[in-house]
Structure 1
């Protein structure tokens, strides 16, 4: 009874708030925007035209430098309006920027040499590399190489195709899969022996004599040994007795394959929550003694055999990583190959979840240390772990989040990393770049300016280029010195004038308190460029609430689907509610076994606060759309919050977490699969539908099985509910493409504006 009364009170409160907002709007002299059919035709045309114009104006949010090998200079391509571009050359020492070449002269000479017409603002090179002091360059045009003399623009054929290739965007510390598998090597490190698997058992072949020695006897075809690795001294082999489990399949039918008269069945392996996994029991085999030791550890029944990490110049101990199924325990386990005994070097446990894809580990074999990230103090931070004792030292600390590791400097004992939330006066999602000592001292902010940053280094890391922007502030690109972070020069500085001249309103950032009354919830608002100050407009939320990240754009965004929809007569918003990533552990934990929550309590409060600041927002007419996990949430809005949301478009939604992929859903909904899976299912709750729902699904979706949407449709039909559904032949995991996006807009125009969208079946004279 208490729960019922609480829910009833909440509904009454929301209904009263709607009445309150309507009264406020009436008092302010505002009236709903109710376009005629002719006005809607015009709005569609203007929306398409503005979207095209905006998308033909490049933002240059990401400057990609091409460096000379000695790091003395770089060049880059700057995008210009109407899909044209030009090249610039920058002297790193002075920071001086100049046109890389005279495009007109170069185009004329390329025409003479190749016989093909050239557009000076669309010069295309398969390769471009400057030599000397920028006076000569090597060009590859299509499949032919030329040497360019920039004094007279002469082009000569060349066989010297040697150039320096360096990807400035590639971090020194390459990220690897959290579940990078053991790399099998049949031949021993000393080259004397080779591993052979025969009849499910493990043998060693002496490469000099070809003699075979059998090391295991209890393997067979059903439970074989495999996934082997040599110890560095070639004396021992780590291998696994494998208990294979077949991965179950899902299917779909391609209905419209050209040249056929029958549907084509497609099947593929697809593990779903609760499915069995292959298990790996580790063993250590001593080659000389011909002995087998079963490692004192539980089988690895989650993903495959892990990568092994050996101590430097020590073949007695190795470590491996293990996340228990259910994502509530992470360990780095040390194995003694002489005894098979194990010891936990790292053993983290939690009552909710450990976000295993955000765990970072880097092994330092020479010092027997591990760099590791964890949320154990409530925020994602870096730790230095003693590889023998397991003793941990906190490297970074505070109410902010380490987002990723760029590189490790073992000599200087420094970590270079990305983080967000360190600057209290900024959007807590803005990414900044830092370096810090292993001892937690000497923190340096490489990106001091306010904004969302994107950084790249010169080959010798003497310089870096920092490009930063905000959703409504154009990007700035600066060349800086790595050692001091001193700015050498400004390379590019975007302006808003060219965008504002189109009439577009740039997105606005809005912040409101979440369900706890304390936590800031961040989002953006897109307004129609021709918004009448005396009219109110329906609100549409673009939702993606997947717990694996945060999703509100942070870099410059003059053009987007949200803006394009807004031009039809809507105010379009996007919000990161509780349960998404990149904030505190408490913020993230809201999603635990609670995907259906999707941050809705925060989103609704945010929109109510937004409507107070912007009275033109009519939150008595709220729509919502999303794709994939956003498709699940947008349907959930009508099932679980019909008092607020009135219309939803849901594309390829994961409408029941038991139908979707195993690894993603068990991460957030837990293991084993319990009743909460069904309780939060859109399919189970289909009979609760209120409002107007439009489902979109691609028949060839290989991400979320199409039956997720079809089962929801089946449940809605059985509950005698009205809804629309669009199944697109041959389409994969998508929002429906151009056709689906047009139908989505039409749906909102009908159900929120109560207007008629243009009918594409009527030929316009």
Structure 2
């Protein structure tokens, strides 16, 4: 079986791999999701016992659901925001002690005892979304129909909050899509009240999505806050189970974005809130009795604030942990601070707080090499203590820690897929096996830094390539904020190796604007997306060609999806002298049509900076008639017709502009597809894209 078919059947070799790993607070158990094998897309719930070093199946979706069941719309939306295409159990939540877990499945709600394996279904008032037990494991909250419910120990289902036209307990689109806050309520440590988000989208513009291949179905209206438009109104309230209600007070007009929230035994709720343009934010503590707030820290940056995932949170000694940047005295770093004091060494680029280990913090961070991520133990008891690196092999590592147990997931260039190891008291005691299929080949990309900006780059040749034979170049890119392509993990290069084996030298470049190098590297794109990014791409390509003479720069194709789709179209429109054809997948073509938080963070408000939006628009570029006929480089446009993130109007308008200017292009509309193009669609497109590129650069 060839790569595209095998990748589609195995979801790019991820079916059967562990995911959604949680270590219980005492470190005694590791809970995770995993399907039964390499072609099973339905994840089951498992637990690994640290004492016995054995794993046990807790809940098998095949045994719980005998028929295919449609997911509730809110669950489908949550999975889209999470980019989760797996079936079965999508998520779960545990109590504080890690004795029980709850999960939704097809709208039904289940509870499982992590010690005995006893499984029960809880009766609900409607299809359950995002169920979460209280810290003591006695009650379970969940959302149905936009209302927040609580199931009491005796099985009584009580409506805690609900009203027509608003949602309670769910994250709004911007919170989930752009700030990665996928939840909308947080239990109090005593289990007697819940901090809850109320979301009113009545003033948010309504857009209508319809798949033309289904003319009998009415369009679906979605609240979409496009750049410059009104956002959802998000407020917070502390709801007591006995009917009490306290509003949380902060200056919502100045700080409308709720980025993160937490509520632990060490203190009351902590919030991170940002101004609309995200150049200033506050970390605030909430008094749950009165709803009054107190500022713990200010976050400021003339470009934009970039909070560290996993913060803010209370440390055991009561100090508040905050992520931020160190940009003075020659430093250019992402760090952690405790009540304003620097906690992590400035040589670390902190990416996420991953848990606690014996009272210390466990963080994921980089240290000089952006293609790698490692796991570190950070002492918090005394200032100046050294960070301890827990991973040594070059690669991409993630951590999950609690009690005296840490689970480390690793991807490297030396082995396929994820490998999870369990460590207790500093000793490796076992593994969580992956049941994923082994890829049919082992890519060997040449990773390097090029130009005076030391741009992370890579070149991948066909297997068996003989030096001295010129190859057409395929630039495979993303290039946008929040994502790196040049990483030391084999899985990232499998599809690129297929392209290389088809006769290309595959080039990948992480330009300025991508994470992992430094805050200044990341934020150089502020208000100047297209100029900085395209300059870096062109300069790096030319620098790589000087080091790799087999790259034929007279035959260069470029392909990307989402931000990468925008960049690939930008490349052939602005630099037809460099790029000779483009595959343009689900691109943002007019930034006034994309969402508020993302677009305004980088480009400002459309009303304040129309020239910035015009300069970065593909529509205006495409509408210009080429000076020379040969500058009209061919494009293949691809877009899902029910994409609720980058709506299909982007590509349809681009096509119209290209047609009006006489620019050659083709378009593939994906019926029924969202932004993920899941279900094997992306893999099925590969041969069509290959044929287009071969014809275009031959």
TM class, shorter-length: 0.5 to 0.7
Q: CA deviation at 1:556?
A: 2.3
Once the two structures are superposed, the pairs formed by residues 249-648 of structure 1 within 5 Å of their partners are 249-257=206-214, 262=216, 264-278=218-232, 297=251, 299=253, 302-303=256-257, 320-333=271-284, 344-356=295-307, 358=309, 360-364=311-315, 367-377=317-327, 378-385=332-339, 392-408=340-356, 413-421=359-367, 424=368, 426=369, 428-440=371-383, 441-455=385-399, 461-462=404-405, 464=406, 466=408, 468-473=410-415, 481-483=423-425, 485-486=426-427, 506-514=443-451, 517=452, 519-557=453-491, 560-597=494-531, 599-648=533-582
Taking structure 1 as reference, are residues 428 and 629 closer, same or farther at Cα in structure 2, changes over 3 Å only?
Answer: closer
Partner Cα distance (1:305, 1:645) in 2: 39
Do 2:448 and 2:456's aligned partners in 1 also have CA atoms closer than 8 Å?
yes
Q: CA deviation at 1:376?
A: 4.0
Do 1:355 and 1:667's aligned partners in 2 also have CA atoms closer than 8 Å?
no
Q: Name the TM-score, length of structure 2 as normaliser.
A: 0.65
Mind listing any 5+ residue stretches in structure 2 that lack a counterpart? 41-46, 57-88, 90-113, 120-134, 136-146, 151-158, 166-183, 239-245
Partner of 1:12: none
Higher relative contact order (CA 8 A, sep 6+): 1
The correspondence for 1:682, drawn from 607, 615, 618, is: 618
Taking structure 1 as reference, are residues 362 and 228 closer, same or farther at Cα in structure 2, changes over 3 Å only?
Answer: closer
Partner Cα distance (1:714, 1:527) in 2: 37
Q: CA deviation at 1:404?
A: 1.0
Partner Cα distance (1:729, 1:611) in 2: 39
Over residues 443-501 of structure 1, what are the superposed CA-to-partner deviations in whole Å (9 max), with x where a residue is unaligned? 222213333224556x8635x55454422555796867543x4556899999xxx98xx
Residue 746 (1) aligns with residue 683 (2): no
Taking structure 1 as reference, are residues 677 and 488 closer, same or farther at Cα in structure 2, changes over 3 Å only?
Answer: same
Larger-Rg structure: 1
Q: CA deviation at 1:660?
A: 1.4
Residue 709 (1) aligns with residue 677 (2): no
Residue 653 (1) aligns with residue 587 (2): yes
Taking structure 1 as reference, are residues 543 and 196 closer, same or farther at Cα in structure 2, changes over 3 Å only?
Answer: closer
Partner Cα distance (1:647, 1:74) in 2: 47
Over residues 654-709 of structure 1, what are the superposed CA-to-partner deviations in whole Å (9 max), with x where a residue is unaligned? 11211112222223223365221122111121135632211112222222111111
Partner of 2:101: none
SS in 1 for 2:470: strand
SS in 2 for 1:360: coil
Q: CA deviation at 1:640?
A: 2.3
The correspondence for 2:116, drawn from 159, 162, 176, is: 162
The correspondence for 2:664, drawn from 703, 706, 722, is: 722
Q: CA deviation at 1:197?
A: 11
Q: CA deviation at 1:297?
A: 4.0
Partner of 1:149: none
Partner of 2:204: 247
Q: CA deviation at 1:587?
A: 0.5
Q: CA deviation at 1:748?
A: 0.4
Q: CA deviation at 1:49?
A: 8.9
Q: CA deviation at 1:552?
A: 2.8
Once the two structures are superposed, the pairs formed by residues 28-39 of structure 1 within 5 Å of their partners are none
Q: CA deviation at 1:249?
A: 1.3
Taking structure 1 as reference, are residues 408 and 271 closer, same or farther at Cα in structure 2, changes over 3 Å only?
Answer: same
Residue 694 (1) aligns with residue 648 (2): no
Q: CA deviation at 1:275?
A: 0.9
SS in 2 for 1:624: strand
How many residues are matched?
Answer: 559
SS in 2 for 1:601: helix
Taking structure 1 as reference, are residues 58 and 428 closer, same or farther at Cα in structure 2, changes over 3 Å only?
Answer: closer
Do 2:274 and 2:282's aligned partners in 1 also have CA atoms closer than 8 Å?
yes
Partner of 2:125: none
Partner Cα distance (2:654, 2:691) in 1: 22
Partner Cα distance (1:333, 1:348) in 2: 11
Q: CA deviation at 1:579?
A: 0.6
Partner of 2:77: none
Partner Cα distance (1:703, 1:199) in 2: 25
Partner Cα distance (2:621, 2:338) in 1: 47
Q: CA deviation at 1:547?
A: 0.3
Q: Which moved more, 1:525-534 or 1:395-404?
A: 525-534
Do 1:630 and 1:653's aligned partners in 2 also have CA atoms closer than 8 Å?
yes
Partner Cα distance (2:422, 2:272) in 1: 38
Do 2:149 and 2:161's aligned partners in 1 also have CA atoms closer than 8 Å?
no
Q: CA deviation at 1:57?
A: 8.8
Taking structure 1 as reference, are residues 434 and 600 closer, same or farther at Cα in structure 2, changes over 3 Å only?
Answer: farther
Over residues 104-150 of structure 1, what are the superposed CA-to-partner deviations in whole Å (9 max), with x where a residue is unaligned? xxxxxxxxxxxxxxxxxxxxxx9xxxxxxxxxxxxxxxxxxxxxxxx
Do 2:255 and 2:274's aligned partners in 1 also have CA atoms closer than 8 Å?
no
Taking structure 1 as reference, are residues 429 and 594 closer, same or farther at Cα in structure 2, changes over 3 Å only?
Answer: farther
Partner Cα distance (2:646, 2:318) in 1: 42
Do 1:513 and 1:606's aligned partners in 2 also have CA atoms closer than 8 Å?
yes
Partner Cα distance (1:294, 1:72) in 2: 36
Partner Cα distance (2:322, 2:309) in 1: 10
Over residues 564-591 of structure 1, what are the superposed CA-to-partner deviations in whole Å (9 max), with x where a residue is unaligned? 2222211112221111112211000122
Taking structure 1 as reference, are residues 641 and 482 closer, same or farther at Cα in structure 2, changes over 3 Å only?
Answer: farther
SS in 1 for 2:521: helix
SS in 1 for 2:583: strand
Partner Cα distance (2:419, 2:658) in 1: 52
Do 1:699 and 1:729's aligned partners in 2 also have CA atoms closer than 8 Å?
yes
Q: CA RMSD in A?
A: 5.5
Partner of 1:110: none
Q: Which moved more, 1:293-302 or 1:699-708?
A: 293-302
Partner Cα distance (1:162, 1:195) in 2: 31
Q: CA deviation at 1:621?
A: 1.2
SS in 2 for 1:658: helix
Taking structure 1 as reference, are residues 305 and 350 closer, same or farther at Cα in structure 2, changes over 3 Å only?
Answer: closer
Do 1:418 and 1:434's aligned partners in 2 also have CA atoms closer than 8 Å?
no
Partner Cα distance (1:637, 1:399) in 2: 35
